[in-house]
Every structure is written in C-alpha cells, then in structure tokens.
A and B are shown apart, each in its own frame.
Chain A
C-alpha cells in the first residue's frame, strides 16, 4: 500500500476509536512520540521508587512498613509493564535503560525532591499518586493498544497507593500537635511540585494538540490540573490542613477553584537537572545497574549452560 493509503487506514482507526496494535502501520512521529512518552513514564515509575524507599526501613510500624513495601513493589511493576509496552514499538530495553542512566531521558521532575519526614510518605501517596491517577485514568483509553492495556493494569493498582498515603496523613493529623505540623509541612512542600506534574500550561505545551489528535491524550494539562485542584481542596479539609496557596478560592461562575500561579522557573530548573536530588537519583540508578551486572551475567551463563540439553524437557509441557 502507498503511504497515503496507509495513513488513511491509520486515521480512520483513530477516528473510529479502533486501537493501533504493534504490527499495524503508524506514522513515524506517532511512534516517536509514544516511545518518548511511554519510556519517560516507565523511568518515572522506576526512579519514583527511590524517595519512598528512603523510608521503608524507618516506617513507624510493621503495618506501615508492609504497605509501603507493597506500594513501592507495585511501582517497580508499573515500570516493567511500561517498558514492555514501549518495546513493542521497536526500542530495546537496553536502549531505554541507557537513555535513563546517561541522563538523556527525562522522568517526572517530582521525584527530584527529598523525603525529609515520615509525613512526606503520606503526602506522596495522597498528592503524587493522586496526580498520577488523574493523568493515568484517561490514558487507559489511549489509542495505542499495549500502552492502554498497561495503563488499565496500573490504574487498578494505584488506588491503594493513594489511600495508604491519605491514611498516613489522617493518622498524623489526628495525632499530637507536632504530628499535625509535620503533615502540614509535608503538604507545604509537596503541593506545588504536584501541580507541576501535569506539565506546562496548555499555551506553552507544544505536543499537546498533536497528542490529542492522535487520541493519546484525552485532556489537556490544564484541564487535568484543574480537576486535581478541585478534588484536593475538599480532601485537605477532611485532614484539617491547609493548601499553601492564598489565591485558592471557589469560583462560582466557573464552578471550579481558582488557584495561584505555578513557579515555572523552578519547574524548568528541576527538569534541567538542578533540582535538590537529581544527581542523587541518577547515581542510585547507575549504582543499582552496575551492582546488578554480575547477577545478570550469572543468570545468562547458567541459562546457556543448561540450554543445549533439553529445551523442553525441563518443564512440564503445558498440556500436562
């Protein structure tokens, strides 16, 4: 088929909400955009384990430790679902890992902030996972099949993440004066970076229009951010702590909350690598990769040694 014809078949599928699957023809830019988006998303899940892992050994109870561990383990899973979705588009796992470790690839800038107190673990679950859910739910309908399916799986798992975070904050807010102050302090530090998670404003977000045409994105950055602000305000009331924004006020006419201006200088500065923890995060990933080298080598050596014998005899055939 000629390219115009293939393009037409592709456009018709998008228009009719028919998912694009790995072997289908797709425009180069669609492929590039998705590889970038899915791999960045995967990197974010993986790097996102680090700030929370910081508190696993210091969780205040066995219950908190077990749930935090399960949550961080889920994030590893999310990274793997997404890497495998990206691989269906023709990029290899090694290339993606390379891009992350060399600093070439981006990941969500929120993970370049430090987790200073236990309350930060609550704030991350509530706000960071909350913002992620806002972003991810519409992605379950993304036009690329493997990405959409990975997102369905991820979204099912996310809701416990947010609830465990909120429960941590709720407990602190019902506790001593110091505990409540700790919760407020965490909200103060995590609020604005969480709003930045939705990306630049629509008028400065170059890829949004095309992504929406391709039905990768269903809502713009500002639409999703607005939804997030609207739900968080009531949730903060339940906790009894205050969102650090004096411009936050209900707008009867818009039926939405108005809110203050985001510090975009900070946002772009963190993306450029100058956030409080960029170097630490990358160093942790590089060291994990390098220290895992011998394990990967040993596993491959063992597999090669065993391979020639009987490739199918070792395992029960599926028919048994």
Chain B
C-alpha cells in the first residue's frame, strides 16, 4: 500500500471580494487535514479568509510546449482591444 500522503494544491482568498489564488502545495491524508495544514502553513499572519484545497492529481494543465498553437487563435485579433479603433481626439467619454 502506498504510504505517502497525497499532495494538495492550496488556494487562498486573501480578502472578501478577491479571487482565490494559488499559494503552494502540501501533503495531507484527507481534505479536512489539508485545510487545517494549509491554515498553519499559509495563513499564520491572517493572509486569508477562505481556503480551497484540490488534490494535485485532479488538476489538468495546458502543455507549455504547445503554447504557440494553443493561443494562436487570439494572436491576430488585435481588434479585440479598444486601442485598435481610430477615433478623433475630440471624442470624449468613450
């Protein structure tokens, strides 16, 4: 039997109104312990008001080697940015 405690990724909301942000990882036997450990490891100075833990094996990620082709569709669409449009300087509030 594998005796290693699973790895968890820890996400913390630093204050109400902000997103949870990845802060690191830790080992714990289960989710409850992972949350308690995350409190001790990552919020000793009131850094958070909410903690998420996700078992690392459940996180799927894009492959950096394929970044070029993966993001290619957005590459030539600068018209998605407001600065693309030529408008007179006199135009206000837009």
Contact = CB atoms under 8 A, between A and B. Distances in A.
Contacts of B5: 296, 299-300
B64 A24 contact: yes
A74 B25 CA distance: 16
Interface string A195-221: 000000000000000000000000000
A94 B32 CA distance: 22
A87 B44 contact: no
A302 B44 contact: no
Given A23-B63, A84-B24, A94-B4, A74 B44 contact: yes
Interface size range on A against B: 20 to 34
A315 interface: yes
A81 B24 contact: yes
Contacts of A92: 4
A113 B58 CA distance: 44
Contacts of B61: 23
Interface string B16-55: 0000000111111111110000001110110000001000
A54 to B, nearest CB: 22
Interface in A89-125: 92-94
A153 B63 CA distance: 27
- Chain A interface, >50% SS class: helix
B71 to A, nearest CB: 15
Interface size range on B against A: 20 to 34
A174 interface: no
Interface in B59-80: 61, 63-65
Contacts of A149: 24
A25 interface: yes
A23 B60 CA distance: 12
Contact of B3 (A300, A315, A318): A300
Contact of A299 (B7, B33, B40): B33
A193 B46 CA distance: 35
Contacts of B28: 299
A84 B42 CA distance: 12
A265 B86 CA distance: 72
Interface in A45-88: 70, 73-74, 77, 80-81, 84-85, 87
B31 A93 contact: no
Contact of B31 (A150, A153, A300, A314): A314
Nearest to B2: A300
A318 B32 CA distance: 14
A306 B31 CA distance: 11
Contacts of A21: 64
Contacts of B26: 80, 84
A87 B65 contact: no
Contact of A302 (B25, B27, B30): B30
Nearest to B45: A157
Contacts of B4: 92-94
B44 A318 contact: no
22 contacts: A1-B65, A21-B64, A24-B64, A25-B64, A70-B44, A77-B42, A77-B44, A80-B41, A84-B24, A84-B25, A87-B25, A92-B4, A93-B4, A149-B24, A153-B23, A296-B3, A296-B5, A300-B3, A303-B30, A314-B32, A315-B31, A318-B52
Given A1-B65, A81-B24, A307-B30, 12 more contacts: A21-B64, A77-B41, A80-B26, A153-B24, A157-B44, A296-B29, A297-B3, A302-B30, A303-B30, A303-B33, A314-B31, A314-B32
Interface of A: 1, 21, 23-25, 70, 73-74, 77, 80-81, 84-85, 87, 92-94, 149-150, 153, 157, 296-297, 299-300, 302-303, 306-307, 314-315, 318
